Amino acid sequence: MSVIKLATKIPGFDLIAYGGLPQGRSTLLSGTSGSAKTVFGTQFLVEGIRQSGQPGVFVTFEETPEAIRANMAGFGWNIPKWEADGLWAFVDVSPRPDNQPQAITGSYDLGALLVRIENAVKRTNAKRLVMDSLGGIFTQLGATATVRYELFRIVNALKEMGVTAIITAERIEEFGPVSRSGIEEFVTDNVVILRNTLEGEKRRRTIEILKFRGAPHQKGEFPFTINAEQGIVVIPLSAIELKQKSSDVRVTSGIPELDRMCGGGFFRDSIILLSGATGTGKTLVTTQFIAGGVMAGQRSLLFAFEESRDQLFRNAWGWGIDFEKMEAEGLLKVVCEYPETASLEDHLIGIKRVIEEFRPERVAVDSLSALERVASIKSFREFAIGLTSFIKDRNVAGLFTATSSSLLGGTSITETHISTLTDSIILLRYVETYGDMRRGLTVLKMRGSMHEKDIREFTIDSKGMHIGKPFRSITGILSGQFTYRTPDEMERINQLFRSSEESGV
């Protein structure tokens, strides 16, 4: 018998769960304190009511219903209204201030709790149920064999009631046993773990489906974030389908000579990585890319994480581009933010939201490297994958810039992590020539197209970038280890290749 899934409608979760939680079963949701178990549980009921028309029951062992109603109002979840409408019921088993610790003599069962749960489920016609958290009941009655057996009985009864349940449990360590009480043996058809780890001074929330008995799901940890508008949002990285609807429509890079080097422009749905040391002209290429889009009548979106709006607009003005006018006309949108204002997961969600609202045909992010600062390498890689696949999926041309750490040659972390995700790579390099610092540009990779392999010199003036002749007398530009050759030597080498080519024919 195959397991039917119940779509939780918690953003992103159903993608990693291949449809949702196993319907009519209980799932153990385990996490350390502060890992957002209660939010997840509450949202499970909220989305059920809001999106699926499924009433829910919240059995609380720790917080009082008053506290939950108040805490969750911050997400715009109006629990009292749903209670009044008969769509939501609390079973309040939280410790009561007027109760002394339970005096116990002889054997007992949790029949009363079961009666209350059954009553609440029947009264609301609930399809979803949350028990938060098992730790609370053990605090009240002790983690005795009786309590364990009774919980087992309740979980079985839930199955008979046909509700899909989430039962939360506390863990002590992020990577230790599934739960503190060892209760998982009883409930564990299905286990989901929430983590809130500290990596390189950054908090990172992840969710992992440890097991769904008899049902498939994505493996491993997925980042998630919590925001005031949506609650929990899971970022389903590898669950994003890699369906490359490759297009052979070309769009301009905004620089005619660069278009020629690329064999006629960038592909419409391609991701372009622009890498170079600081000051090599990345912001200029970005600005021209965006302006070129606007000039061609395309909606263009620029995310700037390094420069302020004023700076950016002034720079553009200096190259003869009027961003202000373009924005007023509605084809351009510029979003400036400091990377430190949010976590990377939140940035990703923010970027996605702006893209969905503005519906651009091209997007530039200047720079991706600035975002490295606010995250661990792992988070950064996930961010890059999430962003590129999102952009690709929408048939949008994306230009990302990456700052390499050394002035001459070298690669950036950004490059290391996203170069395989990109369709094109353009390198900007400083070139030292007999006491001069000049700039060079080359198209390193251009998926699905011929492109020029030269390293060409470029200059910048009040009209922007001008791409000139290839550097013929210098080698080692990419590595930063320059060697210079005299015209004699070059002639001799050219001769050599020519004669071997001729002899080969």
Partner 1 sequence: MEKYLLKLYITGQTARSQRAISNLRRICEEDLEGNYELEIIDLLEHPQLAEEQHILATPTVIRELPLPIRRIIGDLSDADKVLRGLDLHTRCRDAPPAGEALPPANSLHPPQA
Active site residues: 62, 306
Q: How far is the CB of 144 from partner 1 (least distance, A)?
A: 11
Applying CB under 8 A, among 112, 198, 377, 437 the residue interacting with partner 1 is 112
Residue 141 binding partner 1, by CB under 8 A: yes
Identify which of residues 6 and 147 has a Cβ nearer to partner 1 in the complex: 147
Q: How far is the CB of 39 from partner 1 (least distance, A)?
A: 25
Residue 119 binding partner 1, by CB under 8 A: yes
Applying CB under 8 A, among 66, 109, 199, 248 the residue interacting with partner 1 is 109
Tokens at residue 445, please? 């990779």
Which region, judged by CB under 8 A, interacts with partner 1, from 4-12, 95-103, 360-368, 442-450? Answer: 95-103
For residue 417, what is the enclosing H or E element? Answer: helix 413-418
User: Phi and psi (nearest 5°) for 459?
Assistant: -125, 160
Residue 114 binding partner 1, by CB under 8 A: yes
Applying CB under 8 A, among 67, 115, 249, 437 the residue interacting with partner 1 is 115
- The β-bridge relationship of strands 362-366 and 456-461 is unpaired
Identify which of residues 92 and 189 has a Cβ nearer to partner 1 in the complex: 92
Applying CB under 8 A, among 78, 140, 411, 433 the residue interacting with partner 1 is 140
SS3 label, residue 19: coil
Which region, judged by CB under 8 A, interacts with partner 1, from 114-122, 294-302, 378-386, 471-479? Answer: 114-122
Instruction: Determine the Cα–Cα distance for residues 313 and 213; give it in Å rounded to an integer.
Output: 56
**Partners of 221 in the β-ladder:** 208
Identify which of residues 66 and 491 has a Cβ nearer to partner 1 in the complex: 66
Residue 98 binding partner 1, by CB under 8 A: yes
Residue 491 binding partner 1, by CB under 8 A: no
Q: How many residues of this chain interact with partner 1, rule: CB under 8 A? A: 29
**Partners of 399 in the β-ladder:** 272, 364
Q: What is the DSSP letter of 69?
A: H
Which region, judged by CB under 8 A, interacts with partner 1, from 17-25, 110-118, 369-377, 440-448? Answer: 110-118
Q: How far is the CB of 173 from partner 1 (least distance, A)?
A: 29
Instruction: Determine the Cα–Cα distance for residues 42 and 82; give it in Å rounded to an integer.
Output: 13
Applying CB under 8 A, among 33, 102, 156, 395 the residue interacting with partner 1 is 102
- Are 379 and 221 within 8 A, CB to CB? no
CA 276 to each of CA 118, 258, 415, 477: distance values in angstroms, whole numbers, following the listed order = 65, 16, 10, 12
For residue 313, what is the enclosing H or E element? Answer: helix 309-318
SS3 label, residue 58: strand
Report the residue count for the chain.
505
Applying CB under 8 A, among 83, 92, 337, 346 the residue interacting with partner 1 is 92
Applying CB under 8 A, among 28, 36, 72, 110 the residue interacting with partner 1 is 110
Residue 100 binding partner 1, by CB under 8 A: yes
Residue 163 binding partner 1, by CB under 8 A: no
Residue 120 binding partner 1, by CB under 8 A: yes
Applying CB under 8 A, among 1, 103, 145, 228 the residue interacting with partner 1 is 103
Site for partner 1, residues 13 to 52, rule: CB under 8 A: none
How many angstroms from the chain centroid is the CA of residue 114? 41
Q: What is the DSSP letter of 278?
A: T
Residue 59 binding partner 1, by CB under 8 A: no
SS3 label, residue 467: strand
What residues have CB less than 8 Å from 191, skipping those under 6 apart? 27, 28, 30, 178, 184, 209, 210, 211
Q: For the chain, how big is the Rg over CA atoms in Å?
A: 29
CA 425 to each of CA 262, 270, 398, 470: distance values in angstroms, whole numbers, following the listed order = 10, 11, 12, 18
Which region, judged by CB under 8 A, interacts with partner 1, from 104-112, 232-240, 265-273, 418-426? Answer: 104-112
- Which parts of this chain interact with partner 1 (CB under 8 A)? 91-93, 96, 98-116, 118-120, 137, 140-141
